Homo-oligomer: A and B are copies of this chain.
C-alpha cells in the first residue's frame, strides 16, 4: 500500500465522517428523533418536545460540539456518574500522551525512518507513490548509529506515560473517595448480600439468617430481606408489565394529542388501534397462564440468599470482609450492589455452582476467541493481494484495476473485521451473565475485560503474527522468537493498523453519534406501531464495547509509535473526535442506571502498562534485528522500570478500588449520626431492595391478609394504591386466578383512563 492508497482511504473516511456528523446535526433537531438523541434528558430532565418548525432545523451546525466541549467535569459527574468521568479521562490521557508521542516521533523519528537507508540523501522522491513502508523503521538500515533516537523516543514516551498514569490514578482514586463521601446516603453501603445460607430442616432460611446475625452481629444487625425464586410466574409478570407500560404510553399520548403518531394501517399485523393490539397480547398471556402448570404459581420459594441490613456502614463492610463461617462455602458475604444494580435472577443461583460457572465461561470465551481466527485470517489475507490472487485466481482481473485494489487493500479488510466484531460484545455479555455476577455493573465490567482480551488478541496479535505469512498461526508456540517475530511484523502491518484507525475508529465514532440502528428502529416504531417514548428503553452507556475500543487504539498507538509514527496523527484525530462525541452522547443519550464507582480505571491502567511493555518488547526485537546492542541494552532497564512502576501502583492504588476504608466509613457514619439523618436512612433502607417479581405477590399477600413479616416490600404499596380492584377484596381465589386477576387490573386501569 502506498501513500495514495492511504489517502484514498483517509478521503473516504473523512467524507463519511463529515457527512454523518452533518447529518447528525440536522437529525438531532427533528422532534421525532428526540427519543434517539436525547434519551437521557427525556428520562432524567423531562425536557419538552419542541415543535416550532423553522428553516434552522434543516441546516447543519456545529453547536452540539461547542456544547459538548463546554460542559465541565463536575456537570458530567453529577449527570452520568463517576464511570463516565473515568471513561472521558481515558480519552484525556490518550490525547495527552499521544500529543507528546506525536511531537517526538513526527519531528525526530519519522524523518530518520524516511532517510533511513542513506542519511545523506536529501532529495525527496515523489512521495504519493512511495510505499508506506518507507516511513517505518523497516527502512532504517541495519547497524544504523541513529537508532539511539528511537531509544530516546521510547524513553520519553514511556516516562511521560508513567507520570501521566500515576497522576491519573491518584486523581481518580481521590475522585472515587470524594464521590463516596459527597453522594447521598446509599443503601448499598449499609447492606450485605449473604449467599450460601446453609439449609436446615428445623428452620427456614429467613430464620437461619435472623438467628445467625442476631447471634454474631447483634449490635449492628438491623433486619434482612430474603431473595425469592419466582420461576415461571416471573415471565408472565414481565409480559404483563410490558403490556402495562404500553397502556401507560397510550395514555400519555392521549394527553399530548399533537404527538400522537399517525395511526397508519400496519402492513404486518393488519389493524390500526393499539388498544386492540394490547388486548390480543393480554389474551395470549392469559392463555399461557391457563396452560401453565398450577404448581408454578404456588408460593414463591425462598432462596439461600438474603440482603442483610446493618445499622452502620462500617458494620456492613466488616461483615462483608470477615469470613463468617469456618466453612468458606457457607455464609458468603459481599457488600450488596445498589438496589437498581442488582442482577436478581443470578441471586437464585446456588453459590456452589459459581466457581464452576466462572471456569466454564472462561473456557467458552477462550474457545470463542480462537474460533474467531477464521474470519480474521481471511481479513488479513486481503491486505496481501498477491497471495489472495494465488488463492482465488478468478479475482485477478478485478484486482488489476488500481482503484479496486486500493479499496480492497486499504479499506475492505477492516470493514469486514469490523462487521465480525459486532457480534463479540453481545456474546461476551451473555458469557458474563452466565458467570453469575450479582450486579449489572459487575456483569458489564466482566464483559469489558473479556471484550478487551478478545479485541487485543484478535485485532492486534492475530493480525500481526499471522499477517506475515497466511495460515502460519502457530508461531505463538515459540515464546522466545516472539519479540523478533513482532519486530518484523508490526512495521509491516502498520498500514493495516492505520486503515483500521480510519475505518474502525473514525467511522465507528460517527456511526456512534448518529445512532443509526436506534434511528431506524425509532422511525419504524413511529410509523407502524404507534410506539412512543419509554423511559426504560433509554440505553445505558456501553462501557463494555467502548472501553476496549479506546484501549485498543491506545495499544496500537504505543506499539506503532516509534516503528511507524505515521499512525499518530490519525489516532490523535480519533481521540479528539472521540472526546467530543462521547461527551455529547453521555450528556444527551445514555442514561447511567448503575455504576461501578470508577472500577474501570484499574483495567485501563493495567492495559496501558501492558501496551508499554509490549512496545518495549517489540523495540527490543527491532533493535536486535537492526544489530544495535546499545539500544537493546538501554531498553531492558526501561522494561524493568515499567514493571516496577506497575507493581508500585498496584500496591498504592488498587486496594482503593476494591473496598472502602474504615476511616472514611466511620467518619460518614458519625456525621450521619450527628446530624440525625441516620434514622431516616435506616428507615428507607429496608424498602430499598424490592425484587421486581415479588411486588405482585406482595399485593396478593396483603389482600389475603398474610403480611410478609419483616420482609414486606413497601415499595409495592405505591403500585397497590394505583390498582384497587373490587374483585380482590372479597375472595379466596386460587393463585392462578389471582394472577389473571392482576392482569385484568391493567385492563381496568386502562379502561378507567379511557373513560375519563
Give the interface of A toward B (CB within 8 A): 177, 216, 317-318, 321-329, 331, 355-356, 359, 474, 477-481, 644, 647-648, 651-656, 659-664, 666
Contact = CB atoms under 8 A, between A and B. Distances in A.
A480 B477 contact: yes
Contacts of A660: 323
Contacts of A647: 355, 359
In the A-B complex, list the 7 residue pairs whose CB atoms are closest, starting with the nearest: A477-B480, A328-B655, A326-B661, A323-B661, A355-B651, A322-B662, A478-B478
Contacts of A477: 478-481
Which of A326, A328, A355 is most buried by chain B, counting CB atoms within 10 A of its CB?
A326
A55 B8 CA distance: 105
A268 to B, nearest CB: 48
Given A329-B652, A355-B651, A647-B355, A663 B324 contact: yes
B328 A359 contact: no
B663 A326 contact: yes
8 contacts: A216-B662, A216-B663, A317-B322, A322-B322, A323-B662, A326-B656, A326-B663, A474-B480
B326 A664 contact: yes
Given A479-B479, A651-B355, A661 B318 contact: no
A357 to B, nearest CB: 12
A644 B216 contact: no
Contacts of A666: 216
Contacts of A474: 480
A602 to B, nearest CB: 13
A359 B644 contact: yes
A328 B658 CA distance: 11
Contact of A648 (B327, B355, B663): B355
Nearest to A329: B652
A324 B666 CA distance: 10
A661 to B, nearest CB: 4
A656 B662 CA distance: 24
A195 to B, nearest CB: 13
Contacts of A216: 662-663, 666
A494 B478 CA distance: 28
A177 to B, nearest CB: 6
A364 to B, nearest CB: 14
A322 B328 contact: no
Contacts of A327: 652
A656 B664 CA distance: 29
Contacts of A648: 355
B651 A328 contact: yes
Contact of A323 (B324, B651, B659): B659
A295 to B, nearest CB: 33
A79 to B, nearest CB: 26
B325 A661 contact: yes
Nearest to A480: B477
Contacts of A177: 326
Contacts of A479: 477-479
A664 B662 CA distance: 23
Nearest to A660: B323
Contacts of A328: 651-656, 661
Nearest to A360: B644
Nearest to A315: B318
Contacts of A654: 328
Given A324-B663, A477-B481, 14 more contacts: A177-B326, A318-B322, A321-B321, A322-B662, A323-B662, A324-B662, A326-B663, A328-B652, A328-B656, A355-B651, A359-B644, A477-B479, A477-B480, A478-B480
A327 to B, nearest CB: 8
A325 B478 CA distance: 46
A643 to B, nearest CB: 8
Nearest to A658: B323
Contacts of A323: 655, 659-662
A498 to B, nearest CB: 33
Contacts of A359: 644, 647
A443 to B, nearest CB: 21
Which of A477, A644, A662 is most buried by chain B, counting CB atoms within 10 A of its CB?
A662
A146 B323 CA distance: 51
Nearest to A664: B326
A322 B319 CA distance: 10
A325 B663 contact: yes
Contact of A318 (B318, B478, B659): B318
Contacts of A326: 177, 656, 661, 663-664
